[in-house]
Amino acid sequence: MIALLVTLLIVGYILVLGISLWIFTECWLMIDAPPALVHTVKFRVLHCTGHLIVTWGCILEKLRICSMPSFCQFLHDLLPIRKDPKVVVTNLHFGTIRVRLFQPKAMSSGPRRGIVFYHGGATVIGSLDIYHNLCSFLAEKTDSVLLAVGYRKLPDYHYPVCFQDCVNATIYFLKTLKQYGVDPARVVVSGDSVGATAAVVVTQALVGRTDIPKLRAQILLYPALQAINLQLPSFQQNKKVPFLVRDLMMCFLRYLRIDPFWEDALLTGACIPANMWEKYKKWVSSDNLPERFRHKDYKPEFLAPFNEAAYLETRHLFEADNAPLLADDQVIAQVPEAFLVTCEWDVLRDDGLLYKKRLEDHGVPVSWYHAEDGFHGCIFLFDSMFFSFPCSEKVMAAVVKYLRGI
């Protein structure tokens, strides 16, 4: 009996190792790692490891052992948290929403700047723990009170919970600024990836509110802002560039409760009625991009024949809280100034550039930092020693410089 168990364990180990090696190798061969990223081998290893985790999560999900998001979140939350002796960290709840407050220990002569931070992770990964070190660094280096919002996400929560949590937590914070020693004239919302999307949603949702202080600025690190045009140059150029390859981006469909069956309709534009395209192309067409971002191999948008069934299943994607780039002009004109970060090797690069143009067209001041060697998710690797990249350090330095100027 013991011999049988040992044999089964050995066979199981070899099987797991073999599958893992196959997944890792296939991913290594499929992705692009532009030379501009400098550390291309390290870049490939990181992405292939992440892809391996997601794939095993999907396998465990099919075996009904646990969900893919739960598996990914469990492993990510094993990463160590570094305690900064210069920062006081407090875990709180705003109703059902977990938040974490970062306050510099040093004495201040007056109220501090306030930063509300929403983490990235496509509502699949990302957490207060994973972004702890980054938030602690930001609070200390900019002498700010930072509130990190632990919005609810997959697998238990779906659209529209994530953005609702971010809006509600921000409103509560704005109503209690005095309690945390925050200057109501210097409150900034910020985030990366889907967290940056949340920051845009929050700024638009709070337009016109007179019962709370006005936001001073929005800091947006490579946001996702629309799903109307998924044929933009950056989508074509970077569809195989980690960490957000186009196929992985479709994982966000889980949060939106959209069946993966409709993926091709979304990518080709078959789910978009002609009248909707005519209405929104003035904002989402590649014609609005600077010439330098339309690479020589780019093929202009060409929508597939309209599929009404696909539209009915995906139409909530085109609402302003999912596609804030499509918000009404009067809303865009009233949002606070923005600091926008885009990365050259990011599938979402053009979303940021299109939003930059919309803001500028309505007189909203925009400061822009473009990381020529940057990729999606680079800020997450900031200060991670061996796994850090030059672009991570440069983007964080640009954010700190901007914040210190407010």
Active-site residue, from 132, 351, 376, 392: 376
Concerning whether 67 is annotated as a catalytic residue, the answer is: no
Of 371, 379, 356, nearest to 194 (Cα)? 379
Active-site residue, from 346, 350, 351, 373: 346
372: phi then psi, degrees, rounded to nearest 5: -65, -30
Angle (CA) 82 192 234, round 5°:
135
Torsion over CA: 315, 317, 318, 320 (sign) = positive
Q: Which residues pair with 341 in a beta bridge?
A: 221, 369
- Let me know how many helices (H) and strands (E) the chain has, helices first: 15, 8
CB 348 within 8 A of CB 241: no
Concerning whether 93 is annotated as a catalytic residue, the answer is: no
- How many Å apart are CA 33 and CA 45, to the nearest integer? 11
E strand or H helix at 340: strand 337-345
- How many Å apart are CA 206 and CA 165, to the nearest integer? 14
E strand or H helix at 30: helix 2-30
- Listing DSSP states for 92-140 in one string gives EEETTEEEEEEEESS--SSPEEEEEEE--STTTS--TTTTHHHHHHHHH
Which residue in the block uniquely carries the two structure tokens 């045009």?
229
Concerning whether 165 is annotated as a catalytic residue, the answer is: no
**Known catalytic residues?**
193, 346, 376
